[in-house]
Structure 1
Amino acid sequence: MSNRASIAPEWLLHYEKQWARADVVAGLTAAAVVIPKALAYATIAGLPVQVGLYTACLPMIVYAFIGSSRALSVSTTTTLAILAANALGVTVANGDPQALAVANATLTMLVGIMLVAAAILRLGFVANFISEPVLVGFKAGVAIVIVVDQLPKLFGLHYPKGSFFHNVGAFVAGLPHLSSSTLALAVLTLAALVAFERFTPRAPAPLLVVAAAIAAVAAFNLRAHGVETVGAVPAGLPSWTKPDFALALKLWPDAMGIALMSFTESIAAARAFARNDEPAPDANRELLATGLANAGGALFGAMVSGGGTSQTAVNRQAGARTQLAGLVTALVALAVMLLFAPLMAMMPHATLAAVVVFYSIGLFSPAEFRAILKIRRTEFFWALTACAGVVLLGTLEGIVVAIVVSLFALAHQVSNPPVYALKRIPGTNVFRRASSRHPDDEAFPGLLLLRPEGRIFFANAQRVAEKIRPLVRDSDAKIVVLDLSRVFDLEYTALKMMIEAEARLAAGGTTLWLAGLNPGVLAAVRRSPLGDVLGETRMFYNLEHVLMKYEEIVSRNGDDAAHR
């Protein structure tokens, strides 16, 4: 490999000139969405709005040269912002700007370090431990929390924040004191966003509504009517911010949760918007890219970052072909820092809150809940549990609940594999689960066909045995066949259980046969005492082979032979 190939990103090495126009247009379009949203998300986290600009710049640049997804747009998201708000709010309770900047740099650096460490350890598979129903519930909970958190800004209210129910109660109690001007501006902003979404979905709606709100503040002196604005925004490049690792002991649990969610959201968005003619996103490389994006951004005032689904969708729909689009978005953010920062001072909090609410509501999808319920009631319960965990316990605790629920779901499925009694469809060699819906399926006197499914090991071997016993007892069979064609692994505990089962069956005058063993399972059985007991004569290629042997015995010795 040449030195150039070793240091240049893959997309740059194979860049085609005809992609440039599409990438530039996509980058400019995405910037119109990313920048206003990043400003709004910074306020969610309790940080100055300029932090949103920093987060839309440096992390995007770092990711463009390291990440594996060509369309992923990396800045920050609603989920990451609310998680950061929880962490920073506890760490810097007095809201001191300097202390907040240091705590933010420390938190973001910790997230980056954790993601890079995970990449080195090749832990990309961890994203698969959060099931889709649990992720649906988690995002729904985050949407509820964010909306409740933004209500005071929409209505022009002020009250100390607390738990979810405290905030709801404080909001209701404060309604008589709302600011009508602030509420009117928020409603107009939401109406404009809805109109753009419905009639011109390709328009840079956040940029247009924010620009209109700034113009309205200036033209109608809305600050004199109680509309609060962002205030002075420092122009220029971000200053160097040194993390304080003395805060690491306090922030690391939050950082771990944020790192997990950053990676989960990033890899999900990267996979969702990958084209068939592009390299598939690599999970471990995504860990490295998002980790370095966070670590680099931490030193220059950025908040925690990751790939956002909505902004990635805009980037891809606008025609992005490579990470050059992300670089264009970052350059626009840089231009805003240097040239347009004074305009940010007149940006109304109500408008930013409306932007946050509008895009956060999309995280709550009743259609996804209905789809889950339609397919599987148990997983619907898992989604509700994750949602309730976020709302009632907090977002970080909600991540823990989501992971625990996912692992519990996995453990439940693994520990409870199905075991079916089989019958044959008449006139075919197809065997299926015995059911009253198929009364004409063929059974065979004295022969019981059973099919367990999945891996059988120490955690579920006893459960499989418990399912088999009543089927054997109720069948009065003299030959029990275990079809292992859908068992991909059989470990020591399961083999020991089968040895004991064979002995019990033999003592009762019943013979055990095995069928459909894959090479690995067959080798394990042959190495165990069970292989010596069964020999080659009681292990078969498949159920057809079993029936050939059974019919041979019956035809040679009569029906009673099958009972011996």
Structure 2
Amino acid sequence: MRDQPASHRKSGFRLPVLEWVRDYRTSWIKPDIVAGVTAAAVVLPKAMAYASVAGLPVETGLYTAFVPMGIYALFGTSRPLSVSTSATLAILSAAALGQVAPDGNTAQLVIATATLTLLVGLFLVLAALLRLGFVANFISEPVLTGFKAGIAIVIVLDQLPKLIGIHVVKGSFFHNVYALAAGLPHASMSTVAMGALTIAVLVALEHWYPKSPAPLIAVALGIACVAFAGVQRYGVEIVGEIPTGLPSFVMPDLSLIDALWPAAVGIALMSFTETIASGRAFALSGEPVPLPNRELLATGLGNALGALFGSMPAGGGTTQTAVNRLAGAHSQLAELATAAVTLGTMVLLAPVIGLMPHATLAAVVIVYSNGLLNPEDFRAILAIRRTEFVWAVVALVGVVLLGTLQGILIAIVVSLVALAHQVSDPPVYVLRRKRGTNVFRPVSDEHPDDEDFPGLLLLRPEGRIFFLNASNIVHKIMPLLAQTRPRVMALDMRAVFDVEYTALKMLTEAEKKCRESGIEVWVVGLNPDVFAVLEKAPLGSVLGHERMFLNLEQALAAWWEAQHAIARDGVSSASRHPGQRTP
């Protein structure tokens, strides 16, 4: 597909399907169809497995891989993105549905799921209309790492009973661990064997044949064990009857909105976060980057319409998108091919899928959920930033101990607190000059020979100065003044892109205290916006143009001129030696 000029893409709303169909190349047809069919081999088993994670009939996974996938192909902006459900969305949905359908009644669950998915879709569409695509950036990468790791632990603990053939009453994390341990003596050896066989097949294929449709092969093997070896006679439970044909229309229950909307907001956020992350990760060089607000609309419409046909909350998936792209997908036609395979499965293969062992599904979920828990990610964070490692661990513990819905709130709160902490405590560097150059750099043990200038304190604050951090900047500067007792303090402001009103008042008061103590304040390197603000404020009048400089070289030249004047006639007033006004 030929890339369009940015001005053309931004001029009004254009239905994405019209764009990629118009520019479609006939040479893409075969690789797109092959990629879509290959991706279906991964999507369908995992979608059914994740439906079971949510406590829903496995056919719900098929419906989710059909309707939202097709809708996204029409409205989405990512070429390779494959849309169905995910481990994260499944476990979040399970927590939400458990609140309104605790007895697990299938009919009640289906209606509750339709209501939840419709709310997720409506929230995503509303966010698109309000242009809230930037919200996905509110969850930092370390916190998202911890959140996903916590989700992996919760999912594995949830699936282990199915893997060993026992039934436990779900509760808190520690309750579930105790119930699992207490049930181990009652495990079904035949079920354990089936689960172990599935895991062995998945791991072996991923290791030696990574391009093979491992989930499809594992599921086919499990079904074959039931169909030809009759393993259900030895206590291996199977999925059971699955309705054949197209999904039926489901009417959401509006009376459940009050109970489900908070969970729907969290699920919508995670759906969008996973969708945009997957879309960006697999965009090739030269391809348009997925547009966040268009992605909100596409996934929102997919969820809203899918809800009416029995699907669960959906979003883009990393693994299936990777398979789709690596198999040769060039456009959204690949997603339509995946949806077509799903349709054929619903119409023709539903009776065969009903023979699938629960242990096989549990094994698929466990193997692929482990990808969410990567110790190497934690080690990488710890190697760079210990503080953000703590945030990742807090998110993980929050999900595991407090639950997934509370965990996502913790993840958001931790991200916002982390952001507030970073902007509330900006650095203030003491500068020295590299000898023989005009390079000014922060004081460092690595550069002990850098020049300082007794009587002149050079400081460089960084970032936006506003009400949240102005007092911290002042508190960092005051000990430096007390320690060095300079005659002039020059603030290099080139790394400050904005100064807010409250901060200006604090800086004005700090300048007055400095002046009363015999310390002059100079400002250096103001950008035009900051200069315009400062000029209107009382601080600008106090400083005057003679204490504003374009750069540190000019400030230092004015300082030396003042020193020469002092040496010549003993007049100790640096202000009589003007600098240059900032433009």
Shorter-chain TM range is: over 0.9
SS in 2 for 1:239: coil
1:6–1:264 Cα change, 3 Å = closer
In 1: Cα distance, 2:519 partner to 2:14 partner = 67
Is residue 417–residue 460 contact of structure 1 (8 Å, CA) maintained in 2? Answer: yes
Indicate yes or no: 2:553 matched with 1:539.
no
Supply the distance in 1 between the matched residues of 2:251 and 2:32 (Cα, whole angstroms).
34
Residue 360 of structure 1 is aligned with which of 369, 373, 377? 369
Question: For residues 138 and 177 of structure 1, what CA distance do their matches in structure 2 show?
Answer: 32
- Aligned residue type for 2:220: A
SS in 2 for 1:558: helix
2:26 alignment partner in structure 1: 17
Give yes or no for the alignment of 1:426 onto 2:435. Answer: yes
CA drift of 1:8 comes to 4.3
Are 1:521 and 2:530 an aligned pair? Answer: yes
User: Aligned pair 1:84/2:93, yes or no?
Assistant: yes
Matched residues in 1 for 2:283 and 2:302: separation?
Answer: 20
Give the TM-score normalised by the residue count of structure 2.
Answer: 0.95
> AA paired with 1:207?
L
Q: Find the counterpart in structure 2 of residue 148 from structure 1.
A: 157
Aligned residue for 1:387?
396
AA at the equivalent of 1:497 = M
The percent identity for this pair of structures is: 60
Instruction: Work out whether 1:280 is the aligned partner of 2:289.
Output: yes
| Alpha-carbon offset, residue 431 of structure 1 | 1.1
Equivalent of residue 453 in structure 1, options 451, 462, 466:
462
Q: Secondary structure at the match of 1:501?
A: helix
Report the RMSD for the aligned CA atoms in angstroms. Answer: 1.5
Give aligned pairs, total.
564
Among candidates 39, 42, 50, match of residue 59 of structure 2: 50
SS in 2 for 1:149: helix
Do structure 1's residue 208 and structure 2's residue 217 form an aligned pair? yes
1:484 aligns with 2:493: yes
In structure 1, distance between residues paired with 2:217 and 2:133: 38
Q: What do the CA deviations read for 1:133-184 (whole angstroms, capped 9, x no partner)?
A: 0000000000000000000010001111111111110000011110001001
Q: How far is 1:437 from its partner?
A: 3.1
Residue 147 of structure 1 contacts residue 357 of structure 1 at CA under 8 Å; is this kept in 2?
yes
Q: CA deviation at 1:477?
A: 0.4
**Counterpart AA for 2:558:** K
SS at match of 1:423: strand
* Kept in 2: contact 1:424–1:442 (CA 8 A): yes
Q: 2:372 is paired with a residue of what secondary structure? A: coil
Whole-angstrom CA distance in 1 between matches of 2:15 and 2:201: 48
Distance 1:562 1:261, change over 3 A: farther
Q: Which residues of structure 2 form unaligned runs of 5+?
A: 1-7, 575-583
Structure 1 residue runs without a partner (length 5+) = none
Superposed, 1:318-397 pairs within 5 Å as 318-397=327-406
Aligned AA (1:146): I
Deviation at 1:476, TM superposition (A): 1.4
Structure 1: distance between partners of 2:553 and 2:39: 60
The secondary structure found in structure 2 opposite 1:27 is helix
Which residue identity is paired with 2:96? A
- SS in structure 1 of the partner of residue 365 of structure 2: helix
- 1:216-246 Cα offsets, whole Å, 9 max, x none, are 1111110100000000011000000010111
**Which of 225, 229, 233 lines up with 1:224 in the alignment?**
233
Choose which of 64, 72, 88 in structure 1 pairs with 2:73: 64
Give the SS at the match of 1:480.
strand
SS of 1:362 mapped into structure 2? helix
Residues of 2 paired with 1:227 and 1:372: CA distance? 42
Aligned equivalent of 1:241: 250
C-alpha displacement of 1:436: 3.1
User: Are the counterparts in 1 of residues 16 and 76 from structure 2 also a CA contact under 8 Å?
Assistant: no
Which residue does the alignment assign to 2:42? 33
Alignment match, 1:162 = 171
> 1:298 aligns to what?
307
SS in 2 for 1:304: coil
Amino acid at match of 1:338: V
